[in-house]
Amino acid sequence: MRFVSTKGNAKPVLFKQAALNGLAPDGGLYIPGEWPTLSNDFWSNIQGKNLQEIGYSMCRPFIEELNEEVVHTIIKDGINFDAPLVALNENSYVLELFHGPTLAFKDFGARFMARTFSAFREDKGQDLIILAATSGDTGSAVAQGFLGVEGIKVCLLYPSGKVSHIQELQLTTAGQNVTALEVDGTFDDCQRMVKQAFSDDSLNEQLLLSSANSINIARLIPQMFYYTYALSQLAADKEPIFCVPSGNFGNLTAGLMAERLGMPAAGFVAATNANDVIPEYLQTGSFNPRESKQTISNAMDVGRPSNFERMHYLFDGDYKKMRSSIWGADFSDRKTKEAIKKVYEDYGYLMDPHTAIAFLAVEQYKKQAQGYFEEAPSAPFVILSTAHPAKFGDVIEPVINEEVEIPERLSRCLEKKKKSIGLENDYTVLKEWLLQNY
Ligand SMILES: *Cc1c(COP(=O)(O)O)cnc(C)c1O
């Protein structure tokens, strides 16, 4: 099983190389070059299978280089928390992806990645540097996932003043092998600088760099697991519509990948905040990346969604094909707050702002787009809940007029002191900093 570049001008490589390279040498993103079929038996007996069993079966064909035992251990230690499917109302379910250590779905990717990287790292007498841009949740998940892993250093770039208070503390208080660079710019600026670092030959001759953003295929592989796990928790023969709160579209792309492995799905809903580049593309067929806008669902403030490249590839560059699998909608901050309040009042369920956007998209789909996918009218909706509401207390508390209880694993970092290094929004400054400090 080899991975190819979306741009088509790079040598197909095995998983290890794809994961450690991050970006393909031609500037494209790695994607499986073929789709192994999982046995019919796997899909027809999916009900009741647990997350780890599913994880093992889904990732095994992609990772030839590691033996069975190592892959089992990666899954067992990395995916060591649940992703329960909770019924919200008739026909809608919430898939809670926030039961990991940093309370966001990014834990799936980061924990899997940290363990595969440490299995792959050969002692070259040189540290591997994980360079990642974060809009909030990636940073904390990566910091946690790689914390204290020998031979690996983590360098996080985050946009100053544009992540929530708790997110900032989570990503600046890890210490040890983790450094947070506070960039005077937006998330897109951080992402641009990181991408530039990976394609800078002179830098890569001197440092062993790797990425932890969703440009890295190693993050998307474990994200396929929970789509299938949702299915295992639904009644048999139900093909759901998955509704995904999206920014960089790694999460949604992982769903499309699971579908290529044979997972039954009636369709996907791409739900965004005001950063609506992909819903617009689905409507017009024209892709216009632009500056990101700041919203209360800040982890989705992405104006140049990098996984569009993979989506485009998966649908052969044909937006009509993409439309047949994905429906999109975007929502304002005002609507988001209304949804948080409504869901709390009507169902006694508290959603974080990102999840609330997916809820809004389901409601709008039911009103305006029923039948868009050729599903049986009874297709259930699975809303992917990407973060725990306590991470966004500053947004939620004024909306519901109540305090949001903070789980213990989150309150621990609140007692620590922020430690970051300010950085100009300029690639040459980043490069210099990296060369001086690693
Ligand atoms: C990262 C993140 C998203 C967006 O996920 P993508 O894979 O970038 O589309 C949504 N919600 C939360 C809480 C996140 O942390």
Per-residue pLDDT band at 374 (split at 50, 70, 90): confident
Q: Which of 143-147, 258-262, 280-284 has the lowest mean pLDDT?
A: 143-147
Cα→Cα distances 113→18, 74, 274, Å = 12, 9, 30
Averaged pLDDT for residues 355-374: 93
Q: Is residue 399 part of a domain?
A: yes
Residue to mutate (ligand 1; options 248, 351, 392; most atoms within 8 A of CB)? 248
Exposed e or buried b per residue across 390-426, where buried means at least 16 C-beta atoms within 10 angstroms of its C-beta: bbbbebbeebbeeebebeeebeebeeeeeebeebebe
d(CA 180, CA 131): 10
Q: Is residue 203 part of a domain?
A: no
d(CA 16, CA 14): 6
Q: Does residue 376 register a pLDDT over 70?
A: no
Tens digits of per-residue pLDDT, 196-254? 998 899 999 999 898 887 789 999 999 999 999 999 999 888 899 999 999 999 999 99
Render 330-363 in DSSP notation, one character per residue.
Answer: E--HHHHHHHHHHHHHHHS----HHHHHHHHHHH
Q: Is residue 51 part of a domain?
A: no
Q: Does residue 280 register a pLDDT over 90?
A: yes
How high is the pLDDT of residue 148? Answer: 84
Q: Copy the structure tokens of residue 213.
A: 């953003």
Q: Which of 108-117, 239-248, 272-281 has the lowest mean pLDDT?
A: 108-117
Measured in Å, residue 349 CA sits from the centre of ligand 1 at: 20
In ligand 1, the atom with minimum distance to the C-alpha of 253 is 7
Q: Is residue 184 part of a domain?
A: no
Residue to mutate (ligand 1; options 215, 227, 354, 383; most atoms within 8 A of CB)? 354
Q: Which of 60-69, 265-274, 333-342, 375-384 has the lowest mean pLDDT?
A: 375-384
Q: Is residue 354 part of a domain?
A: yes
Whose Cα sits closest to atom 14 in ligand 1?
A: 299
In ligand 1, the atom with minimum distance to the C-alpha of 354 is 11
Measured in Å, residue 45 CA sits from the centre of ligand 1 at: 30
How high is the pLDDT of residue 40? Answer: 83
Averaged pLDDT for residues 350-374: 94
Q: Is residue 294 part of a domain?
A: yes
Name the residue range of residue 243's domain: 82-103+217-406
d(CA 418, CA 408): 19
Measured in Å, residue 436 CA sits from the centre of ligand 1 at: 32
Per-residue pLDDT band at 118 (split at 50, 70, 90): confident
> What share of residues in the chain are helix, strand, coil (percent, to 5)?
45, 15, 40
Measured in Å, residue 355 CA sits from the centre of ligand 1 at: 10
> Which residue's entry shows tokens 């951080």?
190
In ligand 1, the atom with minimum distance to the C-alpha of 106 is 15
Tens digits of per-residue pLDDT, 140-188? 889 999 998 878 999 999 999 998 888 899 889 998 999 999 999 998 8
In ligand 1, the atom with minimum distance to the C-alpha of 135 is 1
Q: Does residue 127 register a pLDDT over 90?
A: no
- Which residues does ligand 1 sit against, CB inside 6 Å? 104, 106, 137, 214, 245-251, 299-300, 354, 386-387
63: three-class secondary structure by DSSP: coil
> Which residue's entry shows tokens 């259930």?
380
Q: Which of 171-185, 256-270, 363-377 has the lowest mean pLDDT?
A: 363-377
User: Considering just the CA atoms, what is the radius of gyration of the chain in Å?
Assistant: 20
Measured in Å, residue 41 CA sits from the centre of ligand 1 at: 32
In ligand 1, the atom with minimum distance to the C-alpha of 251 is 7
List of residues 6+ apart from 1 with CB closer than 8 A: 14, 15, 32, 33, 34, 36, 61, 62, 64
Q: Does residue 273 register a pLDDT over 90?
A: yes
Q: Does residue 303 register a pLDDT over 80?
A: yes
Q: Is residue 265 part of a domain?
A: yes
Number of structural domains the chain divides into = 1
Measured in Å, residue 126 CA sits from the centre of ligand 1 at: 32
Per-residue pLDDT band at 192 (split at 50, 70, 90): very high
> Which residue's entry shows tokens 């947070």?
180
76: annotated active-site residue = no
**Residue among 7, 11, 106, 342 flagged as catalytic:** 106
Measured in Å, residue 104 CA sits from the centre of ligand 1 at: 8
Whose Cα sits closest to atom 8 in ligand 1?
A: 248
Q: Is residue 232 part of a domain?
A: yes
Q: Copy the structure tokens of residue 344.
A: 């709390």
d(CA 258, CA 203): 35
Tens digits of per-residue pLDDT, 1-29? 999 999 999 999 999 999 988 889 898 99
Cα→Cα distances 350→355, 400, 405, 411, Å = 10, 9, 11, 19
Instruction: Write the CATH number for 363.
Output: 3.40.50.1100
Per-residue pLDDT band at 123 (split at 50, 70, 90): low
How high is the pLDDT of residue 56? Answer: 96
